[in-house]
């Protein structure tokens, strides 16, 4: 972090993935009037509901500006989707005038896979050759230490802010609520590459 702070043209980001459930309720404190019992409406998905029960999302927390860059996806996190997200992050960083993205993340299999490592290597060679603008510097967190990633508490707080007590949210509305709660614009979902399906 000191390294990134010493280079104003670098961007420090903490990356993580999360699932946003349309059914599960976050742990909340609640109260009710003494004469009225507290009632929770159990959510159920109709058989003809086109939306999935949960949405996966990639996020990048930028502590310097307290921004969160979000991209939802149409499936589960995979190496091919991770590289698409990294490419998008590099384009966003270039738009902010940065030349390097210092990326801190955990050791998920889609982060440490050979496909992702090769993609990062090829990407950084393209930066050196001048065909790309933002270099990626990956800093993995120690194994089994999610508390070191400051984006984790943001996920927890956001779950409490987007919960709907009386009805089942459509997937698009849930994604929009998450984006609004984190102050991030809503972007089109990252498609799952055909060869990864």
Q: Interhelix angle for 171-182 vs 151-162, to 10°?
A: 120
Alpha-carbon distance of 21 to 142, in angstroms, equals: 27
Note the pLDDT tens digit of each residue in 90-142: 999 999 999 999 999 999 999 999 999 999 999 999 999 998 899 999 999 99
CATH number, domain with residue 74? 3.30.420.10
Residue 67: its H or E element: strand 67-73
Q: How confident is the model at residue 62 (pLDDT cuts 50, 70, 90)?
A: very high
Exposure of 101 in the CB half-sphere (CA atoms within 13 A)? 31
Highest mean pLDDT: which of 74-78, 86-90, 170-174?
A: 86-90
Which tops the pLDDT comparison, 18 or 2? 18
Residue 33 lies in a domain: no
Considering its fold, how many domains does the chain have in total?
A: 1
Residue 82 lies in a domain: yes
Residue 39 lies in a domain: no
* Both structure tokens of 136: 């990626």
Burial class (CB in 10 A: 0-12, 13-18, 19+), 75: middle
């Amino acid at each position: 972090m000191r390294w990134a702070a010493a280079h104003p043209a670098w961007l420090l980001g903490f990356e993580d993935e999360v699932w946003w459930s349309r059914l599960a309720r976050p742990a909340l404190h609640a109260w009710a009037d003494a004469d009225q019992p507290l009632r929770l409406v159990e959510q159920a998905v109709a058989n003809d509901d086109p939306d999935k029960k949960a949405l996966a999302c990639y996020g990048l927390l930028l502590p310097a500006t307290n921004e969160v860059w979000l991209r939802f996806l149409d499936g589960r996190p995979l190496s091919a989707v991770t590289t698409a997200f990294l490419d998008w992050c590099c384009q966003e960083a270039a738009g902010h005038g940065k030349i390097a993205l210092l990326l801190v993340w955990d050791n998920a299999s889609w982060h440490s896979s050979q496909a992702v490592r090769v993609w990062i290597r090829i990407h950084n060679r393209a930066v050196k050759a001048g065909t790309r603008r933002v270099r990626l510097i990956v800093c993995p967190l120690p194994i089994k230490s999610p508390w070191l990633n400051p984006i984790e508490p943001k996920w927890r707080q956001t779950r409490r802010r987007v919960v709907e007590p009386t009805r089942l949210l459509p997937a698009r509305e849930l994604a929009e609520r998450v984006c609004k709660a984190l102050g991030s614009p809503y972007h089109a979902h990252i498609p799952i590459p055909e060869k990864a399906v």
